[in-house]
Structure 1
Amino acid sequence: MGAFEPNIAKHRTAPRAGDRLVAVVADAGSEEVVKNLILDQGIANAHVVRGTLDDAIELMREAGQAPRHLLVDVSASAMPVSDLMRLADVVDPSVSVVVTGERNDVGLFRNLLRIGVQDYLVKPLTVELVQRALAASDPSASARVGKALGFVGARGGVGVTTIATALARHLADKTRRRIAYVDLDPYGSAASSMLGVSSNNRLAELLQNTQRLDEQLIHQAFVAQSDRLFVLSSEQPLDADFSLRRGAVTDLLTALKHQFHYVVLDLPQRAGPLTDEVLDACAMIHVVADRSVHAAREAARLCRFAEGRAGDPAISVLLNDAQQPVSGRVTSDDFTHALARASVHRFPYEPETLALAENLGEGLGDVRRSPFSRAIVSLADAITGGDTALPADARWYAKLLPKRGAR
């Protein structure tokens, strides 16, 4: 915690669910201004404390539900842009972030806008100044949406759900970002049991009523696997017809990307209108295959199909040893050569660990003992651009702090 920990101890340790405004400011004058604003505007749900940017990060880690507005103070930060990138790891994309500080620097202001901050206010604060910043439309909202990650199998039984659920757990536990896991099979799959939760059949309800989507409805539809991982699924009767209007999936995914950092999409099929819409919404598409000639051919077809998407997604192939290795299967080199793609991630055969995790609805365990877990970490690092195997205070930007501060 920061230098103002005794002051924070006088208040609630974490914001309440549903707070409209959370403010973490470094001085008594700024605290008084924000409190006066709350009284003047009659803001019913607000949380104001004294502290540093590190304190704000800890508060957001503990928050059960994101606020609408977050006001943070970077006065004590030597590298505010890097520190605010750490804050972005724990703040929902939908949160409007306003920053205050003592530096009247146009370059800093532009850099903050570039990373998704709504406004930068130079101290001393006034009620009118803060009010205008909170009321202003957000010109950078489109830059602060989450990413959709699509997982589709080249054939059945290649381990799409196994890999996708393991990745979702890892991203939630190690990056502390909010993760939505969406099982798009309306009749249910193994995803819920692998994650240790029960399906509430709300995916079908949301897809049939996308015109009513709002933050509260989305929040109620998800089943919480942890404080950072949320599951959306359905178990329609096996003899029931399930049809969707064109655009329903797109509307749902657009709404989800405003509430979560990553939306992991478990696709039940390789083609059709649903798959077409999902792939269009993805920033990254992962094609899962095994070491068979048929899977290699289908993976190549899927990659070509995915390359034509309007969103220009990054495409990778996940080569999973879902079955016991025997002679006669396609080798890794031959598979990579056949696809003519460098972005092939390999997942080793590890039946005992995966069977235990699946049947108990638990994670894979220690990455030092599980080659499959290490492959998941490698995939997560490729997605996030960071080292997710390390604790939060040992990631790439933390390593840079002493070097830059010494200059």
Structure 2
Amino acid sequence: MNALDLFRPAIANAEAVDLLAVFSDAASVGALRSLIADQAIANAHVQTGTIDDAIRLLRTLGRPPRQLLVDVSGSEMPLSDLARLADACAPSVSVVVIGERNDVGLYRSLLEVGVHDYVVKPVTVELLRRSLSTRDPSTPARAGKVIGFVGARGGVGATTIAVSLARHLSARTLRHVVYVDLDLHGGAASTMLGLRIGNGLTELLQEPGAIDSPSLDRAMTAAGDRLFVLASELAYETDVALRPGALANLANVLTRRFHYVLLDLPRRDGRGLEELFDVSQNVCIVTDRSVYAARECARIIRFAEEHSDNRDISVLLNNPLEPVADRVHAQDFKRALGSSVVHEFPYDPKSLARAENLGEPIGARAGRDGFAAAIERLADNLTGRESAAPPAWHTQLLKRWRSA
């Protein structure tokens, strides 16, 4: 590769950018170009521009860079701009902020909220070398949030709700989301998203060692700019014995790259449930208004209390069938389970039929009583609106900006 190819104004090979830098001045660009040439750094892209240009580039990349250098010089509201950057920035990205203020308080604040380093202009080759090469290994990397879904019984709509939430988080909150359909013999998620899939998820779960980026890229199927799917469609006669810890290993890799990891567990077997609770920060138990589902929901909650610690459990009371007499009344259901019931989903057959059969997002019905509105309320509840997933620095920067 010719060294000048690293500095084209547009990114030609979006899949291969590991170092992305956007500076406001030519001198800083020149310093980083010198460092790239001196150390023969491959897969780099550097250009002049603003933080808006950095955000645009992040959203066009096939995968996030490992390192991002962004310049806030001249920004009238740098904390607000960095908060917007966090929305487009995957959890795994190491962020270096370039600025003009030689402010120790600002430097400490940025480090506290997860920014890797703050470099004060004028930028030199040596400053950039130290900033890009030194990192305290004891400092934990930012990580995304894992949300698990399990149905109290078959047909309660767990996959419908989980797919709808994945679409909402990627489209409305502009976060990077991966949906993992753990029904290895062909779950409904791929059909609902209008995708053709292979057996990429099975291959990852059977990987004995660390999962690298190329393997992950090959296994995933894109369902949008920020939504990806991991699934399999094994032959029915194929038995798969997953090794213990395989799901935890996969979740650890995915949370370094995505803001939200949604796990859809098809069966309520003990081992599968235990691993789901082990790796998830929040588990959504989807149920309907049947006595059997209520009983199974209570059993799953007891199982969670006995086998996992510090996991938030949300019970989602869905109405997949037309309301008729003799079903468990919603209030009786809520009283039986106590405060665990968080959301009720309405009977909304027209919206769901088109979404499930044509692979389209659920259309919003007028008012606040439709299925799409219930998904939005669930998303707000799980994310806290500011998104607890990636950015401690995003949330705290917003707080500092609003109180300034």
Shift of 1:206: 0.9
2-side partners of 1:368 and 1:53: how far apart? Answer: 37
Deviations 1:210-243 (A, max 9, x none): 4141111111100111111111111121122211
Identical residues among aligned pairs (%): 52
Counterpart position of 1:113: 111
Show the counterpart of 1:377. Answer: 376
Q: Structure 1's 33 and 309: CA in aligned 2 closer, same or farther, altered over 3 A?
A: farther
- Which residue in 1 is equivalent to 2:4? none
Deviation at 1:255, TM superposition (A): 0.9
**Which residue is 2:101 aligned to?**
103
CA distance in 1, matches of 2:138, 2:105: 17
Distance 1:314 1:143 in 2: 22
TM-score, structure 1 length as denominator?
A: 0.89
Larger mean CA deviation between 135-144 and 317-326 belongs to 135-144
Distance 2:24 2:80 in 1: 18
Alpha-carbon contact 1:222-1:230 (below 8 Å) kept: yes
Identify the residue that residue 220 of structure 2 maps to in structure 1: 222
Note the residue ranges of structure 2 that are not aligned, 5 or more in a row.
Answer: 1-7, 388-393
* Separation of aligned partners in 2, 1:86 and 1:305: 40
Report if the CA contact (8 A) 2:79-2:401 is conserved: no
Q: Distance in 1 between matches of 2:105 and 2:314?
A: 37
Q: Which has the higher mean CA deviation after the structures are superposed, 185-194 or 139-148?
A: 139-148
What does residue range 336-347 of structure 1 map to in structure 2 within 5 Å?
A: 336-341=334-339, 343-347=341-345
Verify the 8 A CA contact 2:113 2:396 in the aligned structure 1: no
Using the TM superposition, name which of 344-353 and 204-213 deviates more.
204-213
CA contact (8 A) 2:79 2:397 kept: no
Cα distance between partner residues in 2 of 1:396 and 1:167:
21
For 1:279-305, what per-residue CA distance to the aligned partner results, in whole angstroms no more than 9, with x for missing partners? 201011101000112212221222232
* Change in CA separation of 1:14 and 1:314 when aligned onto 2, cut-off 3 Å: farther
Distance apart, 1:79 and its partner CA: 4.2
2:5 matched residue in structure 1: none
Greater RCO (CA < 8 Å, at least 6 residues apart): 2
User: For 1:148, what is the secondary structure of its paired residue?
Assistant: strand
CA 1:403–1:135: 2 relative to 1, 3 Å: closer
The count of aligned residue pairs is: 390
Q: What amino acid does structure 1 have at the position aligned with 2:377? A: S
CA deviations 1:164-205 (Å, max 9, x no partner) are: 011111111112211111000111111110011012111111
> Aligned residue for 1:5?
none
Q: Does 1:350 align with 2:348?
A: yes
The 3 A distance-change label for structure 1 pair 157 and 172 is same
TM-score, L = length of structure 2: 0.90
Instruction: Decide which of 297, 304, 309 is 2:295's aligned counterpart.
Output: 297
2:109 pairs with 1:136:
no
Which of 327, 331, 335 is the equivalent residue of 1:333?
331
Asked whether the 8 Å contact 1:210–1:252 carries over to 2, the reply is no
- CA deviations over 1:322-370 (Å, ceiling 9, x no partner): 1111111122211111111155201000112211111111111235477
- Counterparts of 1:47-58 in structure 2, within 5 Å, are 47-58=45-56
Alignment of 1:5-404 (within 5 A): 11-12=9-10, 16-137=14-135, 139=137, 142-308=140-306, 310=308, 312-341=310-339, 343-366=341-364, 368=366, 371-386=370-385
Q: Which amino acid in 1 is paired with 2:380?
A: D
Deviation of 1:399 after TM superposition, in Å, equals: 10
- Let me know the Cα RMSD of the aligned residues: 2.6
Give the superposition deviation at 1:387. Answer: 7.8
For the residue of structure 2 that corresponds to 1:318, the secondary structure is: strand
Are the structure 2 counterparts of residues 342 and 356 from structure 1 closer, same or farther at C-alpha, using a change threshold of 3 Å? Answer: same
> Structure 1 CA distance, aligned partners of 2:127 and 2:134?
11
Q: After the TM superposition, which segments of 4 or more aligned residues of structure 1 sit over 6 Å from their partners?
A: 395-404
Counterparts of 1:118 and 1:335, CA distance in 2: 48
Deviation at 1:140, TM superposition (A): 7.4
Q: 1:138 Cα shift?
A: 5.1
Does the CA contact (< 8 Å) of 1:113 and 1:140 recur in 2? no
